[in-house]
């Protein structure tokens, strides 16, 4: 979805035969929702796994805050996979 329309073609037969699942989440809505909203439901579902390290966000690259412009340029290229993080020291 980051670089296009969010539409893809998948082989549903293969997906079902392997008992695979497609699960998605948009953390932007989760954060905006507050404890009782989407964020609360997200933390109820994944909070324990996040704390235990069983589920981890994918981090593409970490930039110091002073290089925020460089981080933004990287984001605009759509060549990253995962989150781009700004480290505040």
**Tens of pLDDT, residues 27-62:** 555 455 555 567 788 888 889 999 999 988 899 999
Higher-confidence residue of 50 and 6: namely 50
Distances (CA, A) of 13 to 16, 20, 42: 5, 10, 30
Rounded CA-CA distance 20/10 in Å is 12
The dihedral over CA atoms of 71, 60, 22, 24, expressed in degrees to the nearest 10, equals -40
Spatial contact of 61 and 84, defined as CB atoms under 8 Å apart: yes
pLDDT digits (tens, 9 = 90+) for 18-34: 888 887 766 555 455 55
Supply the pTM of this predicted model.
0.49
Distances (CA, A) of 86 to 17, 47, 62, 83: 41, 22, 6, 10
Spatial contact of 45 and 54, defined as CB atoms under 8 Å apart: no
């Amino acid at each position: 979805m980051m670089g296009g329309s969010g539409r893809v073609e998948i082989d549903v037969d293969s997906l079902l035969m392997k008992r695979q699942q497609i699960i998605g989440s948009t953390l932007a809505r989760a954060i905006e929702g507050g404890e009782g909203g989407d964020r609360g439901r997200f933390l109820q579902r994944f909070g324990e796994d996040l704390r235990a390290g069983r589920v981890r966000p994918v981090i593409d690259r970490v930039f110091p805050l002073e290089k925020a412009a460089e981080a933004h340029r990287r984001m605009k290229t759509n060549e990253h996979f995962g989150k781009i993080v700004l480290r505040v020291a």
